[in-house]
A and B are shown apart, each in its own frame.
Chain A
Amino acid sequence: MIRKSLLSLLGTLWAGAASADWALNMPRGVTELSAETYDLHMMVFWWCVWIGVVVFGVMIISLVKHRKSRGVEPATFSHSTTAEVVWTIIPVVILLVMAVPAAETMIRLEDSRNPDISVVVTGYQWKWHYRYQDEDIAFYSSLDRPSVEARPKNSGIDPFDVENFLLEVDRPLVVPKGAKVRLLITSNDVVHSWWVPDLAIKKDAVPGIINETWFRAEQTGTFRGQCTELCGKDHGYMPIVVEVVEPDAYIAWVETHQQTGERVATSQ
């Protein structure tokens, strides 16, 4: 009986592990820099693993071998300058090995020259506003209807029945593949933060301040993210969706969405 239920539990775990729900790691993303960020993450991770193997390994050997129940007589040494110098210098060297590529990536992240498209992103309690600088396109992007209906307490709607529950918006940000998109991020009220993991971009939207960041998506697709700075009660309900499309499709999208040249900064 117990064995059977254990087996079925294992089965569930296995099935779960096979599905995407058990994502264990950071996505590699769809930009050059997101891949670089991923590589940095993995590099530091593996360093940590190896350091962990050594330190925990020594500790475990000690826990097994140097126990009183095995009749070990304790040694009496209480310091060793050599050892201490060694385990100060080795970490410094390892840190240098990590720091160099990290600094290189950081420099590339800051290089926002020659953008193809500029979009002003404004955070609101609790939605995003996008304005394409050169296209007279501006719109709010809020949580889409199915999620809005499912989100209240005891709404009676199972979140699992809602596609992309809490991660779908009414109007996504649309950008062409391969274009360098510069985002100018600011806020209307409190501090928000604009994050799309697949683009490896996270930048705070601070009222009164304009922040700049950029990405160049190399694959088409729909990429989702969320606000990552606590911004009040609906902080969990202002997702971000970026649709990366082929350049032709983007041009068509711009044509259908071009507005009447209205360039007003009022906020209603």
Chain B
Amino acid sequence: MTTAVAEAQDAHDEHHGPDKGIRRWLFTTNHKDIGTLYLVFSLIMFFIGGAMALVIRTELMQPGLQFVHPEFFNSMTTMHALIMVFGAVMPAFVGLANWMIPMMIGAPDMALPRMNNWSFWILPVAFGILLSTLFMEGGAPAAGWTMYPPLVLQTGDAFPFLIFSVHLMGISSIMGAINIIVTILNMRAPDMWLLKMPIFVWCWLITAYLLIAVMPVLAGAVTMLLTDQFFGTSFFLAAGGGDPVMFQHIFWFFGHPEVYIMILPAFGVVSEIIPTFSRKPLFGHDSMVYAASSIAFLSFIVWAHHMFTVGMPLSGQMFFMFATMLIAVPTGVKVFNWVATMWRGSMTFETPMLFALAFVFLFTIGGFSGLMLAIAPADIQYHDTYFVVAHFHYVLVPGSIFAVMAGAYYWLPKWTGHMYNESLGKLHFWLSTIFVNVTFFPMHFLGLAGMPRRIPDYSTQFADFNMIASIGALGFGFSQLIFVWVLLTAKKGAKATDRVWEAPKGLEWTVPSPAPYHTFDTPPKARIAQEAFE
């Protein structure tokens, strides 16, 4: 995809164009280049994290250990999560933001282009460090991505590298978030007042604030781990007056908003796509904004629902249970609004729309299991079982990742100037959707039947569903190669028109396809901006 986009941009190089060769990518301050870098990076991480998932699923295909040792298995679950969360899902959305936000709001570039370059190039360094721990004495981190002490303090040589790489990821995300906020608040086209912004931009604005609010808290928590291990502090060591449970509180104070950091931009993408292919305006634009804001607010007061078994006063359990249940209300509003957008529309089912529809269906299933998990007494049974694994994979894979796929297919013609191969796209969609369910649906049953998560081996009674899940995982993993093929051949298709689709709304469709290296050097005229939304 890199080359396709690069060539496309070379062709449309109006004034001072990009540098040639590697310098272009190393020193670029162009939002489109950086967006591409983010997206390619995230795709690579998606395959590395995916390979780890396949190691996990291959080992779990049958009872008994066949391929790996338990220590390595634990490293795989830990690294899979860290890579997918911080390396695949988050950078993918930042990449979409970089590419699309300036074009959607009529800005020439991101507000802080040099910082933009930095925030991307920190990421490969961070993940280089994280991946290098695989080869260290004592193995890669194996205490789970949640890094609970005291267990995480038993990590070998990898420990300081784990902390340092998390710091770098945090710095990168914070810089990216600042850039997005400044761009959105300062550089909108003259006539675009806040509530008129496209919903994707809105969702990202809220997400960016969440990032700035919680990534530093994670940085603080892991710094405390570091000083506990090496500098004699006792934040989480009971012997020195600390408390290991406190880490869980601080972690989840970051961790729950983090969940919404990964899903709000997905809501944004889907809310752009469904109206386009329903040929009907988004239902309740403003209430979508309010719903996203309420979800963001609620995310700060529900963290302890990850900890119902830790031993909490009854009043605490009640509070966190009720607050968690409340999240269902704004989330419900979003789903109902999407359905209302489709209602009496005139729908067609191109690949982006298919992914968006699967998102609505399958994310809602993840939402249902989320509601079940909110019920504290029942959560005691679900907690730390495969039911939870099923739940968060439903909201992350057919949730966040399907939204990224939908967004990629939706905007690809705008990026490359050519239509991608629609039948391959549809094949990719159908295989992904079938296998994602084959993989994750049986996990609900496994969890309810009593299989804990993060175990390398299991009793024979869990054998059948594990086999099915593993087959699904292999199928899902290999289906993603179709996506790579679609990207590699993205330039082979027919020339895309400027509007690409029949009835898309928004400024990004008023510029040529492929989008020139520089767009909106002068802010779009109010009239053009308005027409883009009509």
Residue numbers of A with Cβ under 8 A of B are 16, 20-27, 33, 36-37, 40-41, 44-45, 48, 51-52, 55-56, 58-59, 62-63, 66-69, 72-80, 83-84, 87-88, 91-92, 95, 98-99, 102-103, 105-107, 109-110, 150-155, 157-160, 162, 164-167, 189-191, 193, 195, 197, 200-204, 206-209, 211-212, 224-237
Contacts and interface: CB of A to CB of B under 8 A. Distances in A.
Interface string B334-353: 01110110111111110000
A233 B287 CA distance: 48
Given A191-B151, A236-B452, 17 more contacts: A21-B461, A22-B445, A24-B448, A25-B448, A33-B377, A44-B378, A83-B340, A84-B336, A91-B332, A102-B321, A103-B318, A154-B65, A200-B380, A202-B383, A206-B310, A209-B311, A229-B384
Interface of B: 62-71, 74, 142-144, 148, 150-151, 154, 238-239, 243-245, 278-287, 309-311, 314, 317-318, 321-322, 325-326, 328-329, 332-333, 335-337, 339-340, 342-349, 357, 360-361, 364-365, 368-369, 371-372, 375-378, 380-381, 383-385, 445, 448-450, 452-461, 463-465
Contact of A37 (B62, B278, B368, B381): B381
B458 A166 contact: yes
Contacts of B365: 52
A102 B375 CA distance: 6
Contact of A159 (B63, B279, B286, B287): B63
Contact of B278 (A74, A103, A165): A74
Contacts of A55: 335-336, 339, 364
A20 to B, nearest CB: 7
Contact of B339 (A59, A201, A231): A59
A58 B339 contact: yes
A207 B381 contact: no
A109 B309 CA distance: 12
A52 B452 CA distance: 27
A48 B371 contact: yes
Contact of A48 (B325, B368, B459, B463): B368
Nearest to B286: A79
Contacts of B243: 208-209
A21 B168 CA distance: 46
Contacts of B337: 84
Contact of A206 (B63, B245, B343, B348): B245
B347 A68 contact: yes
Contacts of B245: 206, 209
B284 A40 contact: no
**A-B residue pairs, 10 tightest by C-beta:** A208-B238, A236-B455, A23-B449, A48-B368, A75-B344, A159-B63, A211-B311, A74-B346, A78-B281, A153-B65
A78 B283 contact: yes
Contact of B332 (A16, A87, A237): A87
A76 B503 CA distance: 13
A62 B339 contact: yes
A123 to B, nearest CB: 12
Contact of B455 (A27, A203, A204, A226): A226
A92 B322 CA distance: 11
A151 B65 contact: yes
Contacts of A67: 346-349
User: Looking at A16, A26, A27, which has the most chain B CB atoms within 10 Å of its CB?
Assistant: A26
Given A40-B377, A78-B283, A72 B346 contact: yes
A157 B333 CA distance: 54
B453 to A, nearest CB: 8
A51 B317 CA distance: 26
Given A69-B348, A84-B287, A190-B151, A236 B457 contact: yes
Contacts of B285: 78-79
Given A37-B377, A75-B345, A87-B332, A155 B64 contact: yes
Contacts of A227: 452
Given A48-B371, A159-B63, A16 B309 contact: no
6 contacts: A52-B364, A77-B344, A79-B284, A159-B460, A234-B70, A236-B452
A191 B346 contact: no
Nearest to B454: A230
A75 B37 CA distance: 40
B457 A75 contact: no
B459 A164 contact: yes
B221 to A, nearest CB: 16
Nearest to B284: A79
A151 B279 CA distance: 58
A79 B151 contact: no
Contact of A95 (B66, B282, B328, B385): B328
Contacts of B371: 44, 48
Contacts of A106: 314, 317-318, 321, 376-377
B283 A88 contact: no
Given A41-B372, A106-B321, A73 B64 contact: no
Nearest to A83: B340
B213 to A, nearest CB: 26
